[in-house]
Amino acid sequence: MKKDQVNCVDAVKSGDDITIPNDKRRTLIKATGSAIIASGFGLPLRGYAADPVNIGALYPMTGSMAQIGLGCVAAAKLAVEMVNQGGGIKSLGGAKLNLIISDVQSDTTVTRTETDRLITSNPLSAIHGCYASALTLIASEVAERAKVPLITGSSSDMLNKGGRTYTFTPFARASQFAQAQLQMARLVSDKPKVAVIFENTAFGTSTSNGLREQAAGEGVEIVMFEPYSAGLTDAAPLINKVKASGANALFSVSYLNDLIVIVRTIKQFGLNISINGGSGGFVMPDFYKNVGQLAEGLQGVAHWNHDINSDAQKVNVEFKKRTGEFLFEYAGGVIAQTYMLADALERAGSRDPQKVREALSTLDVSRGYAAMVPGGKVKFGPDGKNIYGRPLGVQWQNADLATVFPKADAKAPLIKV
């Protein structure tokens, strides 16, 4: 230790009086006085790390949706690492993002308690999650009451209703997915006759209702409209109804496990029908793992795909290194959302969730990872919805998902099967 320094750590002992020589006292006052002045003007102090910015992450890491939730968490960790390696939040002295992860266990009741626990136990600036719309709707209710902004890739249109002001949805909505599916049906047949089967959840009902409402306007006839209870073990009765309907196309609004059962059953029945699996489970790497060649040529819709631009392709390469899988729809969206939050934090210059919410409401980006979305633009309207948000049509080609619709976004031609 230099002669004119004071080892304050060694000097401070519980109950002891501390006597500092006059010359050293002057040195200490001068040093601490400078620190106080710097702190008062909001200047970062050399040698002191800025307090981290806490971001909550709500995902199902156990239960029926665990595989997808774990992929989202892997993407969230990658995104935080990228932001922090890029210098953190510069307006907050280079503060690093700190991800606080909570397992919602694929359960609506747990989602409510975990969202509340996450918010009350930690000083959060924002939250993202939860993958399934049924879970996100509940998390959104809790976050709205607590006035903590929540940004999500969940597709239910209900997230933009009910006077929500702290919920932000940068990607396409369920009703937009429906329109894209209907338009894609016209690419396969001049006179599409569609059977719609859907799980009776927030995701299934909102998407299927959009299909029914818009079908006539898109020149598509819906010949069957059938809900089912999520968690199929036997799809035969459902597929028998599809076969009897005379449909030449099937839209299955389902998550991963149900969709695997449905596709296998269709092939077992030898039913020759065009399939658009929508979003949900269809766009996950595990879908192909489970059905293999049966997936080739099947179509779907997504709010994000790893081939949309060069930024998406770069993060896809890194995600693959870490997980062995391509960066699927929701996980890719998580990375973009993290950069949207970083942008808002940078402009807010504050960790305060209400100020972060205000900054998110004025987000307007068209470049970088925050704009890594279909169309390349994000700007939120009064309802928290990205005014530029639009879906992509995708198709399984050579064990990978290729963007095939709309024409402006297509990276490969649609293969008619």
Give residue-wise pLDDT tens across range 112-141: 999 999 999 999 999 999 999 999 999 999
Judge if 53-172+308-386 and 174-302+393-405 fold alike in CATH terms: yes
Per-domain residue ranges of the chain: 53-172+308-386, 174-302+393-405
Residue 207: pLDDT band with limits 50, 70, 90 = confident
pLDDT at position 417 is 73
Bin 297: left if φ > 0, else alpha if -120 < ψ < 50, else beta.
Answer: left
Q: What is the mean pLDDT of residues 191-215?
A: 89
pLDDT band at 188 (very low <50, low <70, confident <90, very high): confident
Q: Annotate 12-74 with DSSP letters as a single string.
A: --TT------HHHHHHHHHHHHHHHHHHHTTPPPTT-PPPPEEEEEEE--SSTTHHHHHHHHH
What tens digit of pLDDT does each residue of 233-243 get? 999 999 999 99
Q: What percent of the chain has pLDDT over 90?
A: 77
pLDDT at 42: 40
- Dist. CA 122–CA 130, nearest whole Å: 18
Alpha-carbon gap, residue 19 to 312, rounded angstroms:
61
Q: What is the pLDDT of residues 265-293, one digit of tens each?
A: 999 999 999 999 887 778 889 899 999 99
Do residues 218 and 183 make contact, with C-beta atoms less than 8 angstroms apart? yes
Domain covering 174-302+393-405, topology: Rossmann fold (3.40.50)
Query: 53-172+308-386 adopts what CATH topology?
Result: Rossmann fold (3.40.50)
Tokens representing 153 are 């890739």
Alpha carbon distance 374, 409 (integer Å): 7
Binned at pLDDT 50, 70 and 90, residue 22 comes out as very low
Q: What number is the average pLDDT over the span 245-269?
A: 93
Q: What is the pLDDT of residues 135-162, one digit of tens each?
A: 999 999 999 999 999 999 999 999 999 9
